[in-house]
Chain A
Amino acid sequence: MTTRWFGERVLRSEDERLLRGRGRYTDDLGEDALEGCFVRSPYAHARVLSVDVEAARRAPGVRAVYTAADLPFGEMDLPLLIPHPALTQGRTQRCLASRMVRYAGEAVAFVVAEDRYLAEDAADLVEVEYEPLPVVANLEAAAGAERLVHSDVPGNVAAELTQESGDVEAALEASPRRRRLRLRYERGAAQPMEGRAVWARWDAGEQRLTVYDSTQSPTSIRGGLAVLFDLPETSVEVIAPDVGGAFGPKIMLFYPDELLVPHAAMQLGRPVKWTEDRREHFTAVNHERAQLHEVEVGYDDEGRIQGLDVDFVHDAGAYTPYGLILPIITAAQLPGPYRVPAYRVRFRDLYTNLTPTSPYRGAGRPQACFVIERVMDSIAAELGLERAEIRRRNFIQPDQFPYDTGLSWQDGSRAVYDSGDYPRLLEECLRLLGPRPAGDNVGMGLGVYVEGTGVGPYEGAHVQVLVSGKVVASTAVPSQGQGHATVFAQVVADALGVDVADVEVHGGDTRRLQWGVGTFASRSAVMAGNAMHVAAGLVAEKAKRIASEQLEVDSADLELAGGEVRVRGTPDRAIPLSTLAVLSNPLRYAFGGGAEMATPFTPKPRQGPPLASGEQPGLEATGYYSPPGSAWASGAHAAYVHVDPDTYRLEILRYVVVHDCGRVINPLILEGQVQGGVAQGIGGAFYERLAYDEEGQLRNASFMEFLMPYSTEVPELVIGHLETPSPLNPLGVKGAGEAGVIPVGAVVASAIEDALRIRVTEMPLSPLRLFDLDRLRGGGRR
């Protein structure tokens, strides 16, 4: 097998179409569809006394208005996706609230009309009578439990879970030094440029439901719809067409519209489409990040950690559809790249009257990294050590892999780091960072992280060589900009010895491959990439089998290159893959295109049945990859920043990333992921903030006031690579989709602390926050 494409900066095959404006995002489709619009609760907590839709039903162009009472599944709680024994008080919402709303933005009614303008006019006419109730507006209030989000959930505690590795009490007792920290991470939101959208068609003649959904998991949606609507899953098709960014919130399922839109389509006998607008995206699409940590760390005079005791609360929001994955990830990832001989972590997942939380790029890791990196910096400060040095002294060493943390991981098994070289990451990062720029109010920040990637259960791929010689490959994972079509084509092209331009890749379409999980948790390259490798490998073997019969040469003496199967050392003895594709399918009838060679009266190399026992027609195969464990990527970020001493404006002077995601399939695409992740991290560290008030109202639900970085706020990055291949999968790859964002909060905090000499224990920051912190410690220049 050649590796001509693996590791190359292949330009993307997706681009031409997208650049010409020929993208097919969900709202671009279904021109003849009716359009939907939600009525959502303006209150964060209220009893719903009545919902009057009569005027709305009579409004021009309206085809239906649904309340919970109108739905056969109106009393059904939406699925709790990832059950866990510790989640003893899990709660999920219903499609449409009928008795209680628990967050501002929760859906109460659904209008379907000829177009969105008319649907919004009708939604204005829906009258809902609410009885506002006391609001649990943030984590502190949730923990204080003076008010409850769910009246039957004591203390607002959905779950409590403690893990311990080693004896933390003893370790802390025995530590020469101890300190406590209290750290806070506020809510954040992914805000992809394309909001959510769903378009459904019900074909009554064929009894088939087809749904286009801007989702990260078509297979899950399909499975759920089949169950809910009592349809055979083979009658339900779900496709994620082009998706304009996702970053996590689109792996959440089921949003109410994902059931309501298909239901309306089936009821009304017309296609129905719903496209959210940005305002509703702010509260109707899941958030993440909010946690409060109490940490106690014990260490020696050299700064080596002896024991780490962490107690944190995680903001679940009003419901727990995604189970406990986020705090589990935080808990497991907190020790990071460091040896922590004794570690105990307890978390409580708390309800608040706010939008539910589920993964957003990083998924609990940014918080974990922030905590441990602040711990490192604070130890360094106390001992007068360089921040890089403190990390060197605590790193897991390269000869300690596989490294079993003893902690429970999000795939149900243990977190065991497969490979890595953290000291080298750090050294390379510092080397690229270079000397500190001259000038006042300049600070250096540092952050090192690990990331468990490539989580299972599995992914699959179908690869087929067409009679034209071109290759078509399909996988269940959809793409939201990561360049899957290019990256997977590279893997397949290598296995089949063809040009990458001759491989067409499809994803996210249950019609093409119905088995798979989805795109999340930095898993696609590992899971689908390896599945592509497996499937293409099977096709290559079959091609050689057929060729070996034709050429009367042993398979072992054959190789694939240049679109052919050829005899090693005798390249003119070769058969094109296109021919092998024809020959793989014994025919009765020739229909052109070389088909004659597979018909009954042409010479056959072998006696017996035309299709040998155990063989299948076609030069195609389906292959699957299921990982023995996560592949652990890692990285080190460092930055120089300048903080204006008068305005507290932040300027990032230099930002370096050295990351390790094992072997890299396409460095161009990888760097794009890193740059994009860091940009989101910068946004989350210094610009973006979900400004909720005491009533659980989001005060900045618009792009004018929720400040995502423009180009002017994001610097050019210096990106270095390190490759410690994963021994766990054939390609040796690790995931990279979330890498850029994980340590940015820690780095920015570290740098600002260095520049201004004020303690930073929270995220996000802002000029206002720095002004206040500066004044609190008695500083400030004017």
Chain B
Amino acid sequence: MKPPPFEYHAPSTPEQAVRLLAELEDAKVLAGGQSLIPLLNFRLARPAHLVDINGLSELDRVYERDGGVAVGATVRQTDAERRPLLSERCPLVPLALRHVAHRVVRNRGTVCGSVAHADPAAELCAALLALDGHVVARSVRGERLIRAADLFVGSFETALEPDELVTETWFPAHAPGDVALVEESRRHGDFAMAGVARAGRRLALFGVAPTPVLADAEDPTRDLHPSGDLESSPEFKLHLVRVLVGRAA
């Protein structure tokens, strides 16, 4: 299980990075690599180019703006987990991070990488939706904000253009007492069969639809038609949603 051949690029500024993404045909961004490299090793992904953004040191920052906290593209999940700024201002984020895989994966994986990867079972994507946050997407054409509700369009699919790079993810500030994240997985650290991220009264479900979805606490499974997977059938997922929404209250 070795990666197929590719051209490797390691820009040192965001400008260089987006220029490469604009110029290169069939390029993928490599950040933490915890999702992409397995795909390369399985040869399920065969991009012609890899643009490694780990050298973009100016994106290695967590800072306050506009009533929330922005997390730059190269910030590792472990570091985000430990930042006082996030614990104090956006506690749902470190709470979500503690559920992501295992410590060793979080030591390399990035917050923005997880958001851009858009795994239907990703805690961070659901947290972003529950909080109504956004990402900043940058290209040679400039920057735009994409709100969570518009960002996730399908299973592993986002509204990002092929040449856009997420430079930061922004989470609105919120009160510590009023957040929750519960999920049910098979083993410690596994992908969730179903999960709920709650920020105040907003509930975002994950693992039960192609994207994270907002739900109504009174009727959380309304309009929900999950596909089954190896460990949970559609009926079981619906059942788990009801259980977990109750536990997240």
Contacts and interface: CB of A to CB of B under 8 A. Distances in A.
Whether the complex brings A and B within 8 Å at their CB atoms is answered yes
Interface of A: 116-117, 120-121, 124, 277-279, 646-647, 649, 687, 689, 691, 699-700, 702, 704-705, 707, 709-710, 712-713, 766-768, 771-772, 775, 780, 782
A279 B2 contact: no
Given A116-B2, A691-B230, A771-B236, A707 B243 contact: no
15 contacts: A699-B230, A700-B230, A705-B230, A707-B186, A707-B190, A710-B189, A712-B188, A713-B188, A767-B231, A767-B232, A771-B233, A771-B235, A771-B236, A775-B235, A780-B239
B162 interface: no
Contacts of A709: 187
Nearest to A706: B230
B186 A767 contact: yes
A772 B230 CA distance: 14
A646 B187 contact: no
B240 interface: yes
Interface of B: 1-5, 38, 42-43, 184, 186-191, 193, 230-233, 235-236, 239-240, 242-243
A68 B135 CA distance: 55
B188 A782 contact: no
Given A121-B5, A700-B230, A768-B233, A279 B42 contact: yes
B232 A768 contact: yes
A124 B42 contact: no
Contact of A647 (B1, B3, B4, B184): B184
B243 A710 contact: no
Nearest to B243: A646
Contacts of B38: 704
B243 A768 contact: no
Q: Please provide the 8 A-B residue pairs with the shortest distance between their CB atoms, ordered closest to farther.
A: A712-B188, A277-B1, A646-B243, A117-B2, A771-B236, A647-B184, A691-B230, A768-B236
A771 B237 CA distance: 11
Contacts of A649: 184
A680 to B, nearest CB: 15
A768 B193 CA distance: 10
A712 B42 contact: no
A704 B191 CA distance: 9
Most chain A beta-carbon contacts within 10 A, residue among B184, B188, B231: B231
A334 B240 CA distance: 39
Contacts of A772: 233, 236
A713 B231 contact: no
A154 to B, nearest CB: 35
B41 to A, nearest CB: 8
A450 B1 CA distance: 41
Nearest to A782: B242
A713 B231 CA distance: 16
Contact of B187 (A278, A707, A771, A782): A707
Contact of B188 (A702, A710, A768): A710
B231 A766 contact: yes
Given A768-B233, A782-B242, A124 B4 contact: yes
Contacts of B235: 771, 775
A647 B249 CA distance: 17
A687 B187 contact: yes
Contacts of A124: 4, 43
Nearest to B237: A768
A647 B186 contact: no
Nearest to A711: B188
Contacts of A704: 38, 191
Contacts of B186: 687, 707, 766-767
B2 A120 contact: yes
A775 B191 CA distance: 25
Given A713-B188, A782-B243, A768 B231 contact: yes
A782 to B, nearest CB: 6
A722 B167 CA distance: 64
A279 B1 contact: yes
Contacts of B184: 647, 649, 767
A647 B42 CA distance: 32
Given A117-B2, A700-B230, A705-B230, A647 B190 contact: no
A782 B239 contact: yes
B187 to A, nearest CB: 6
Nearest to B189: A710
Contacts of B239: 771, 780, 782
B238 to A, nearest CB: 10
A120 B3 CA distance: 9
A178 B245 CA distance: 47
B149 to A, nearest CB: 29
B233 A121 contact: no
A709 B187 CA distance: 7
Given A687-B187, A700-B230, A782-B239, 15 more contacts: A116-B2, A117-B3, A120-B1, A120-B2, A120-B43, A124-B43, A647-B240, A704-B38, A705-B230, A709-B187, A766-B186, A767-B186, A767-B236, A768-B232, A771-B235
Contacts of B243: 646-647, 782
A712 B4 contact: no
Nearest to B190: A707
Contacts of A707: 186-187, 190, 231
B2 A278 contact: no
A771 B193 CA distance: 14
Contacts of B188: 710, 712-713
Contacts of A700: 230
Most chain B beta-carbon contacts within 10 A, residue among A279, A691, A767: A767
Nearest to B242: A782
A543 to B, nearest CB: 53
A775 B2 CA distance: 45
B241 to A, nearest CB: 10
Contacts of A116: 2
B101 to A, nearest CB: 10
Nearest to A781: B243
A216 to B, nearest CB: 25
A767 B231 CA distance: 8
Contacts of B189: 710
Most chain A beta-carbon contacts within 10 A, residue among B188, B190, B239: B239
A278 B5 contact: no
Contacts of A121: 4-5
Contacts of A713: 187-188
Nearest to B247: A646
A705 B236 CA distance: 18
A704 B231 CA distance: 12
A320 B59 CA distance: 59
B233 A278 contact: no
A772 B228 CA distance: 14
A116 B3 CA distance: 10
A62 to B, nearest CB: 15
A709 B193 CA distance: 17
B247 to A, nearest CB: 9
A768 B236 CA distance: 7
A709 B231 CA distance: 15
B239 to A, nearest CB: 6
Contacts of A117: 2-3
Nearest to B102: A710
A712 B231 contact: no
A571 to B, nearest CB: 57
